[in-house]
Amino acid sequence: MSTSSPILTVRDLCIDLFTARSALRPVDQVSYSVAAGETLAIVGESGSGKTVLNFAPLGLMPLGVSIHVSGSIRFDDKELVGMNDEALRKLRGGSIGVIFQDPMSALNPARTIRRQIAEVAELHLSLTSTQAEARALDLLKMVRMSDPEARLRQYPHELSGGLRQRVMIAIAIAAEPKLLIADEPTTALDVTVQAQIISLLKDLQKRLNMAMVLITHDMGVVAGIASRLAVMYAGRVMEYGPVQTVLTAPRHPYTMGLIDAIPRAEDLPGSAFRGLPGMPPVLGPPIPGCAFVERCRHAVATCETTRPLLAPTADRHVLAACPIVNRSSEALHAG
Amino acid sequence: MLSLVSRRVRNSLVLLVLATLLCFTLVVSAPGNIAVLIAELRSPNASFADIQKIEEELGLNDPIPVRYAGWLTGALTGNLGISYKTGEEVGPALASRIPVTAMLVAGGGTVALLLSLVFGFAGAMWPRHWPDVAGRGVALLGASMPSFFVGALLIYAFAVELRLVPTFGLAGPSSWILPWITIGLLPAAVLSRVVRVGLEEAMARPFALTAVAKGLNRRAILFRDALPNIAPTYINALGAQTGVMVVGAVVVEPLFAWHGVGDLFLTGIRFRDFMVVQACLLIFISFFILLNLLVDIGMIFTDPKLRRQGS
């Protein structure tokens, strides 16, 4: 893991969403940091706030929702929270590249691949359209597209899902960003293509020395590419630490459950899925205690009333928001 | 793509032949004997022999297919028969009127095109702000007022009261303005909503979020990403509205005393001048078929999925 100072530092980030009918807080006091060349994976089930966490501060939210962001996001020595729209717009696509989940719908069906890639280079690198189109060709080679010249002339509907995701990656890295945010980049792809995309992302990251935030719920992807892992539940970070440690020795009951739920090769055919009992809390009124308390086997009375903060565990590189299990594991280690 | 276009052209030709049949049948099967009508026009106390003579002259006793063939070859060479009312050749009369109607529809189309793009785009650029609200208001007004009313209102305001433009007639650019606005307002209203709603829908699609993530500003996203996606829909609607304008010419031309095809058609109907009605119908139908063909080709060129088909 890189020990250089982080390029992205998120501190106590809270995001509130106000729709016409309701107010909710999908991101609640989240903190993490990522250094250049490092990959942070953010995992959690659907609705745990991982996408909002990354997209809302960048102004990438659907219309009709008003958003309040508090806390701090320092990126490349700039504070993103409260930054004006114009400055933020210059960062998007420039120093911060974004890859979306579904390459089928994320590309414009009415425009050629050439224009969709080239316009990023025109905007952020101030290239002429000829130069930018030459760069688009280089980028398609960089994302290992076969027959790149022909691809440039094509439209998205003429490409397969995997190829479209490569185009999406080419768009995201067109201006050589310092930070790449990938929102479930492999979820919509089939398994063989997933592996190719992940290895491509790894290579590009090394080549461009990008920091990367990977939003996923696929533990296989996490193990393959990330150096650090943040586990989110109901808008809060439950556990945060080096991937190897968190995956092999989870400290938080939620992480344990999540990892235990992954199907294993030794499972008998037809055996029941291991899942976490219960449902995630409905986002709405603030939860006074631990958000996971309803589904937790280890919960005690104070879990209902006092919110556990992210704190170092016995292994000081790993932080977990659960005093109960950590205390008992410390006791176990001591004994 | 070429095969797709040629297929559309072939279909249009087939349609055109069917349309000529329909035109012909309509007049043949119209109630009343044309020969009686003409005989009465020539002399109020025509005899049965006179009527028979006229029937012979017009070839009304020939078998139907022969009459159709005769009429069609005539029509193809511009000979559309003789007006029962005036006794003039219908062909030249029509030819002198087509440019007037074409000018009216083209002018109205330009008004509709400009207004709809400006209002639709402004509305999408600043949703729920004043350009959007104003555009919506104008669209509602334009769509709910019949053109004869709009025309009368415009004449009263700009010609009678303000005396900026002539009340009627066709003499120079100042006399074009009111008829163009009168005929173009309804299509402008409909099309501005097509643009506004289409752009809003396109902006809600995931590729618009990709464009935001690229760092493009809203105007660039509307122009580069949203607009190409509504082009096929817009061309389709523009075609339909051009049709509406051609029909509208029947009302607007008499209102401004423009002697166009619409005016001729109306007079033809009023005096049961079947040869004129038939000729006008033929022109209208041919134009609609051509219009549909152009719309189809336009959609093939603006929709990449269609464009790549059959190539």
What tens digit of pLDDT does each residue of A35-73 get?
A: 999 999 999 888 888 889 999 999 998 766 789 999 999
Fold type of domain A1-95+176-263: Rossmann fold (3.40.50)
pLDDT tens by residue, A92-109? 999 999 999 899 899 999
- Asked if A106 lies within 8 A of B308 by C-beta distance, the reply is no
For residues B276-281, average pLDDT: 90
Band (pLDDT 50/70/90 cuts) for residue A189 is confident
Q: Which residue of B has its CA nearest to A170?
A: B214
- Tokens 């618009």 label which residue? B208
Instruction: Report the mean per-residue pLDDT for chain B.
Output: 90
Is a pLDDT exceeding 70 seen at residue B4? yes
What residues in chain B have their Cβ under 8 A from chain A's Cβ atoms?
203-207, 209-217, 224-225, 228-229, 231, 302-305, 308
Band (pLDDT 50/70/90 cuts) for residue A334 is very low
Instruction: Report the mean per-residue pLDDT for chain A.
Output: 89
Least confident of A167-176, B24-33, B145-154, B261-270: B24-33
Q: What is the pLDDT of residue A335?
A: 34
Is a pLDDT exceeding 70 seen at residue A315? yes
Count the neighbouring beta carbons within 10 Å of the beta carbon of residue B311. 8
For residues A177-198, average pLDDT: 91
Top CATH class of B91-303 equals mainly alpha
List the domain boundaries for chain A.
1-95+176-263, 107-174
- Asked if A120 lies within 8 A of B204 by C-beta distance, the reply is no
For residues B50-62, average pLDDT: 83
Partners of residue A90 in chain B, C-beta under 8 Å: 215
CA distance B75 to chain A (A): 43
List the domain boundaries for chain B.
2-90, 91-303
Partners of residue B211 in chain A, C-beta under 8 Å: 108
Is a pLDDT exceeding 90 seen at residue B31? no
Q: List A68's β-bridge partners, or say none.
A: A16
Is a pLDDT exceeding 80 seen at residue A328? no
> Which strands, in side-by-side order, build the sheet including A211-216?
A96-99, A179-183, A211-216, A39-43, A228-233, A236-242, A319-320, A311-312
Least confident of A4-18, A88-102, B73-87, B187-201: B73-87
Is a pLDDT exceeding 50 seen at residue A2? no
For residues B48-63, average pLDDT: 84
- Asked if B213 lies within 8 A of A107 by C-beta distance, the reply is no
Q: What is the pLDDT of residue A1?
A: 45
Is a pLDDT exceeding 60 seen at residue B21? yes
